[in-house]
Amino acid sequence: MARQVLNYHDVQLYDSDVALFASRQWLNDNALNFYFQYLYQTLCLRGDGSNSDVLPMDPAVVSCMLHQCEDDDEYADLARGLDLQNKQLCLIPVSDNAALDGQSSHWSLLVFRSGRFEHFDSSGGLNSRAAQRIASTFEVLLRAVGRHDGDQAGEKVEDVADAPQQQNGYDCGMYVLVLAEYFCRRHANESVPPSLQAYATPERVTQLRLQMPALVQKLQQAVAQTADVAKVAEVAGQGKTFRWCQRQAQRLNCLVTCGYVEEDSGLLYNSMMVVGPDGALECNPRKTFLYETDKSWATAGDGFLTWHCPWLNKTISFGICMDINPDDFKAPFSAYEFGSHVVTHASDLVLFACAWNDFEPHDVTPYRTLSYWGQRLSPVIDALANDAYGKPNCHFLCANRIGSENGTFFVGASCAMSLKEPAVLAHVGRRTEELLRVEIPDEATASDA
């Protein structure tokens, strides 16, 4: 009996599916759909987790479209379920199976974009008739959600003459995956060779096949990590972390912030609770830019958060670790997304919580890290220098983790900075656990006087 080895975004992957990759065998529907889903999750989803305009179609859904939709309502239900009205790039696997639960012997890829169908067949057009049939039925789905950019396109499917060709009798499915990977990467504006032929080579096909078992193992570990993280998750305003913060805020009559794993409607977030002196949860910023180790379990927040604290009469922007960096380390360094957000809101304070990884030798001072944080806040520093900020100053307060966990060291260097000069008012070391107490003058009150 086949044993399930992975549940990846509702794709149930079995050891028998993985074995197809590990040996010279023809891929089944499930193996194909697994990698389609992986491409969707890693290349197609937008940074905020919202739906993509790319549709890598499950082979089982293609079969349903061909053999099980009987009237306009069923086509419309299927099209809406696929969010087809918002898809600009559709990747449709084609098999030579002419009947429900029939036998197949060849895969190819049908691509719908810009109102036209292109058929990429790694075996010299063997699936041309099947691709024509699928394209004509796909038009029905498009019309079911009011789209007419595919009208009559199914009648003139282009069999791409120079589609990369397989060198054996079993790699057709692998060519579909490599082709889909190429189109997803291009759509995501990733760097790829200018021609499909230069990308979908026999070497790349073999490489991907050999990488699949390791990819499955990596995803298994990520699933296990998510399960571990979920054990410590709390609902905002509930749980033992919140109760601890609540006690300290009331005891000290102050604002307390603390990073935690938040659970909301089945999703996990890397969040920061902000608890006021009366013990109430004032706001709950969520990490917007996810670091690599977040991506296996966390959902990105929907944007940076700024809040006006009424009893301090101060505007506070909140950031969590990766938020201060360029988005996914792919955005231009000069975009300064978080720093620009602070300027837009003319914040008096920036509260920054992080667990910044430490890659430096033990005896190196923390100034390189402090300098980097200051550099990432350049828009604030520049606006203050040019009297264009709207406030006399902005202070950056950072609480950063120290120590190590599972072989990862953290840089420490918690600090307070005045961004007007700019200047580091105080900081702690990289390896020492310390309490940092800093008095910040109320420059707005002083300037009013």
- 353-391: burial string, b at 16+ Cβ within 10 Å, e else: bbbbebeeeeeeebeebbeebbebbbbbbebbeeeebeb
In this predicted structure, the answer to whether residue 221 has a pLDDT above a threshold of 60 is: yes
CATH superfamily of 285-448: Carbon-nitrogen hydrolase (3.60.110.10)
In this predicted structure, the answer to whether residue 103 has a pLDDT above a threshold of 80 is: no
- Lowest average pLDDT, out of 36-45, 116-125, 386-395, 406-415, goes to 406-415
In this predicted structure, the answer to whether residue 449 has a pLDDT above a threshold of 50 is: no
Please tell me which residue, 380 or 365, carries the higher pLDDT value.
380
Spatial CB neighbours of 324, under 8 Å, sequence gap ≥ 6: 338, 339, 352, 354, 373, 376, 377
Please tell me which residue, 119 or 412, carries the higher pLDDT value.
119
> What predicted TM-score, i.e. pTM, was given to this entire model?
0.68
Distance of alpha carbon 22 from the chain centroid = 28
pLDDT digits (tens, 9 = 90+) for 20-42: 998 889 999 999 999 999 999 99
CATH 3.60.110.10 range(s) for the chain read: 285-448
Radius of gyration of the chain (CA): 27
| Cα gap 404→229, rounded to integer Å | 17
Q: Which two tokens stand for residue 448?
A: 């009013």
What value does the mean pLDDT of the chain take? 92
166-177 mean pLDDT: 96
Segment holding 316, helix H or strand E:
strand 314-320
In this predicted structure, the answer to whether residue 264 has a pLDDT above a threshold of 80 is: yes
| CATH class of residue range 4-227 | alpha beta
CATH 3.40.395.10 range(s) for the chain read: 4-227
- Lowest average pLDDT, out of 106-115, 145-154, 308-317, 341-350, goes to 145-154
pLDDT digits (tens, 9 = 90+) for 188-206: 988 889 899 999 999 999 9
What pLDDT is attached to residue 51?
73
340-347 mean pLDDT: 98
- For residues 431, 435, 441, 443, the Cα torsion angle rounded to the nearest 10 degrees is 50
φ, ψ of residue 72 in degrees (nearest 5): -60, -40
Alpha helices (runs of H) in 24-154, residue ranges in sequence order: 29-39, 59-67, 72-81, 128-144
128-140 mean pLDDT: 94
